[in-house]
Amino acid sequence: MSKTTIAALDATEILDSRGRPTLEVFLRTSDGKEVSAQVPSGASTGQSEAHELRDGERIVKAGQAGKLRHAGKGVQQACAHVRGELAQAVLGMDVTEQGAIDHALCAADATPNKARLGANAILGISCAVARAGALVRGQALWEYLAGRRRAVLPLPMVNILSGGLHAREGMEFQDFLAIPHGAESFAQAMEWICDLHRATAAELSAGGVGLSGVADEGGWGPRLATNEAALEVLTRATERAGLRPGEDISFALDVAASHFYLEGRYHLSSEGRACDAGEFIALLTRLARRFPIVSIEDGLEQNAWTDWPALTAALGGTCQIIGDDFLTTNPLRLERAISERAANAVLVKMNQIGTLTETFTVIDRAAAAGWRAVISARSGETEDSFLADLAVASGMAQIKVGSITRSERLTKYNRLLRLEQTAVAAGTIAPWQSAPERLAPSPFAISN
Ligand code: PGA
Ligand code: ZN
């Protein structure tokens, strides 16, 4: 059989869910098929992430000397690299050779963090290549990506309340999330989440808390006095929705601690205090005892290597201890964290590392170490549903996409709802309940 190759690559500057420029990459195959992929973008980014190339001062507004296009956030240079150097590196390659193509893209950039040509440009090509590969093989994207991994419909970890850099209203913790692990199906899980989302609004308004729109990931971003108050609201809202906290729905935190960490201390302005790492671990432990919290992400600062093992020792028996800004989907950081027992789960964001091949390296290494992995969107998203297929293909049975308002989130959830109706019903994708080694009900039993 003759091989199908990359015949042409192009890119357009489009807008993400925050109205910031990002890329859409188009790929044409040698047999005339066209596919595309859109690239997400974070706001609360980790320092070790691969480099997102933005135009900065290089391109000014047409006809307005001195004024920057999109305040310097344009991605025209990254688009030009897709059409130029990156295309040169991979044109003519077999679209099913994902590993070789990703390697060629990294080699063309030739920096450790994809700073020269841009991780955003590289990721757009990497994802478009996977779509082309699936098309050539006549497979669904999840099926093609899964290869020999067991495809599992993921359990969602859903943002209900936002604080930190995604809402800027008072609470320092970035996400207060719900995990509907007691649901019998993905559809029921999403129905419960919708009930909880509505009940949370009712609970907030009953408490006299004003709501003006939603936060960056579609959850509520209310002004609440403390992080603990947010967990109290979540508990009451769960009950108001007729659900049992800890049995039907458990809670997760994305503390995003780096963003209120300064010079050795965690600054909780909402509570008028600052703690050192030991005190902060004690605070998280208190919260995890008082509330049905089964997952804590970025509970400590992103370079606090000596403190993470203490957090994992304190809470890792009952909670997922997830590294996001801490591990940045980076195989080297993951390896070190595994050997130092610094966490027991990794958040997987494709654009933190920049290629699909490296993303799967992290997923598979986590699985081999007995860790969990949560496949995650960014706060700046697009209408591309690629992530839903990636989550199914990962076999890791967890996804984090934000809340249930805003279509850049729903395109992923709706893809999973459709897959439950078709592929789960047909038995080609397993339901998450069949992955007990990865997802016991609350409290999570984790061997580390
Ligand atoms: P980001 O946030 O996409 O703004 O980095 C998401 C997260 O911290 O999980
Ligand atoms: Zn995070």
pLDDT in the model for residue 58: 82
Report the DSSP pairing between strands 273-275 and 265-268. antiparallel
Kindly tell me if the per-residue pLDDT of 320 is higher than 50: yes
pLDDT in the model for residue 88: 98
Q: Quote the DSSP letter at residue 4.
A: P
The percentage of residues in the chain with a pLDDT greater than 70, rounded to a whole number, is 96
Contacts of 27 (CB under 8 A, 6+ apart): 6, 8, 9, 34, 35, 36, 95, 125, 128, 129, 131, 132
Could you give the count of Cα atoms lying within 13 Å of 249 in the half-sphere of its Cβ?
34
Residue 256 Cβ contacting ligand 1 at under 6 Å: yes
Kindly tell me if the per-residue pLDDT of 275 is higher than 90: yes
> 47: which 2 tokens?
């320092």
Contacts of 137 (CB under 8 A, 6+ apart): 96, 144
pLDDT in the model for residue 432: 85
Which among 52, 120, 168, 349 is the best mutation to test ligand 1's pocket, defined by most ligand atoms within 8 Å of the CB? 349
pLDDT in the model for residue 445: 40
Kindly tell me if the per-residue pLDDT of 443 is higher than 50: no
Question: Per mean pLDDT, which range of 216-220, 223-227, 262-266, 434-438 is the poorest?
Answer: 434-438
Residues β-bridged to residue 251 = 178, 293
119: helix, coil or strand?
helix
Q: pLDDT tens for residues 343-392?
A: 999 999 999 999 999 999 999 999 999 999 999 999 999 999 999 999 99
Question: Per mean pLDDT, which range of 168-182, 300-314, 316-330, 416-430 is the poorest?
Answer: 168-182
Tell me the CA–centroid distance for residue 184 and ligand 1, in Å: 28
| Number of neighbours of residue 175 by Cβ within 10 angstroms | 30
Active site residue ranges: 217, 349
Angle between helices 277-290 and 308-315 (to 10 degrees): 20
Average confidence (pLDDT) over 404-411: 97
Residue 45 Cβ contacting ligand 1 at under 6 Å: yes
Using CB atoms within 10 A of its CB, is residue 79 exposed (0-12), middle (13-18) or buried (19+)?
Answer: buried
pLDDT in the model for residue 260: 96
Question: Per mean pLDDT, which range of 42-51, 190-199, 212-221, 438-447 is the poorest?
Answer: 438-447
| Ligand 1 atom having least distance to the Cα of 43 | 4
Using CB atoms within 10 A of its CB, is residue 66 exposed (0-12), middle (13-18) or buried (19+)?
Answer: exposed
- Residue 366 identity (one-letter amino acid): A
The residue with tokens 């609350």 is 442
Residue 329 Cβ contacting ligand 1 at under 6 Å: no
The pLDDT-based confidence of 62 (bands split at 50, 70, 90) is confident
Q: Quote the DSSP letter at residue 433.
A: G
Q: pLDDT tens for residues 4-22?
A: 999 999 999 999 999 999 9
Q: pLDDT tens for residues 104-145?
A: 999 999 999 999 999 999 999 999 999 999 999 999 999 999
Kindly tell me if the per-residue pLDDT of 214 is higher than 80: yes
Residue 42 Cβ contacting ligand 1 at under 6 Å: yes
- Residue 36 identity (one-letter amino acid): S
The pLDDT-based confidence of 435 (bands split at 50, 70, 90) is low
pLDDT in the model for residue 441: 41
Tell me the CA–centroid distance for residue 85 and ligand 1, in Å: 30
Residue 302 Cβ contacting ligand 1 at under 6 Å: no
The pLDDT-based confidence of 434 (bands split at 50, 70, 90) is low
Q: Quote the DSSP letter at residue 215.
A: -
pLDDT in the model for residue 448: 34
pLDDT averaged over every residue in the chain: 94
* Nearest residue by C-alpha to atom 8 in ligand 1: 44
pLDDT in the model for residue 8: 98
pLDDT in the model for residue 36: 98
